[in-house]
Amino acid sequence: MVRAFGNMLGSNAMSSELASLNARYGSRETAQFVRTFDFAISDAWRRFGSDNMAVSQTGERSGRQLASGLVRSGLDTRGAFQIDQLLDATLSPTVRGQVEADIRSRYGADGQSTFRLVADRFFFDLAQRLGQNDVSLASQPQR
């Protein structure tokens, strides 16, 4: 995840974002988010391959355009980024359900909650870095 988004945005921007997430949520929660994100991507690819399915596309295939497409795919009807919306837009319902169950099984409900919380902030911050100032942040519980 760090390498992929570092390639899309540049390593300095990604390092800055991780530092911001560390300051906001703590290093433990940020590391949990990165681990869970990496696991989810790997698990989805594995499941798509084993089920011989095609991956939905955001319309853009590389760099900042891909990052922008991912943000847009995760917007709800109010223009707020929500990781669940992104997962719905990019994974089949079957694969999404399997990946969600695998995340819960591997990291527990707290790990899944942390993933959602930090992912929403990460993609909101990403939108701001990309100049998508019309994107809002999904409501965040107090920590």
pLDDT (tens digit per residue) in 80-99? 999 999 999 888 888 899 99
Q: What is the reported pLDDT for 2?
A: 80
Tokens 């989805």 identify what position?
44
Taking alpha carbons only, the member of 97, 73, 67 closest to residue 85 is 73
Tell whether 94 is covered by a domain. Answer: yes
Number of domains the chain is built from: 1
Tell whether 143 is covered by a domain. Answer: no
Q: What is the reported pLDDT for 53?
A: 56
Domain that includes residue 54, residue range: 2-135
What HEC string does 9-64 produce? HCHHHHHHHHHHHHHHHCHHHHHHHHHHHHHHHHHHHHHHHHCCCCCCCCCCCCHH
Q: What is the reported pLDDT for 51?
A: 61
Do the beta carbons of residue 130 and residue 64 sit within 8 Å? yes
Tell whether 141 is covered by a domain. Answer: no
pTM for the model: 0.88
Q: What are the tokens at 134? A: 């019309």
CA 76 to CA 74: how far, in whole Å?
7
Tell whether 103 is covered by a domain. Answer: yes
Taking alpha carbons only, the member of 111, 121, 138 closest to residue 36 is 111
Spans in the chain with pLDDT lower than 70 = 50-61, 140-143
Q: What is the reported pLDDT for 37?
A: 95
Tell whether 74 is covered by a domain. Answer: yes
Tell whether 97 is covered by a domain. Answer: yes
Tell whether 29 is covered by a domain. Answer: yes
